[in-house]
Amino acid sequence: MGRKKKKAEGEMTEEEYEAMRQRALQPFKPSITDEDIIKFEEEVRERSLKNMKKLKDEINAYDKEKIQERNGFIYHL
């Protein structure tokens, strides 16, 4: 009866080697493309501009409120 050879640690079978070789020969397809990056940057830029305008409006509203309070105080004097 034939004995089975024990696989030494670190060795791979022909099937494993062939499967690895086939995966290596396939063209690389990145999961994130340049178009995805450009689209993401545009979205971030738009959100930043909206937030900037919102904060600017809030600051202007706060300043107007403070000016009106001062004018009201001065008027009462």
Six token digits for residue 32: 């994130």
Model confidence pTM above 0.85: no
Average pLDDT in the 47-74 region? 85
Q: Provide the residue range defining the domain that includes 44.
A: 32-76
User: Is the per-residue pLDDT at 44 higher than 70?
Assistant: yes
Q: Say if 17 falls within a structural domain.
A: no
- Residue from 55, 58, 54, 53 nearest 66 by CA: 58
Check: CB of residue 35 under 8 Å from CB of residue 29.
Answer: no
Q: Say if 47 falls within a structural domain.
A: yes
Distance between CA atoms of 40 and 46, rounded to whole angstroms?
10
pLDDT > 70 in the chain, percent? 81
User: Is the per-residue pLDDT at 55 higher than 80?
Assistant: yes
Q: Which long-range contacts (CB under 8 A, 24 or more apart) does 13-16 make?
A: none
Q: Say if 72 falls within a structural domain.
A: yes
The total number of structural domains that make up the chain: 1
Over residues 3-34, the pLDDT tens digits come to 555 555 667 888 999 998 888 888 877 788 88
Distance between CA atoms of 36 and 30, rounded to whole angstroms?
11
Q: Say if 65 falls within a structural domain.
A: yes
AA identity, residue 33: T
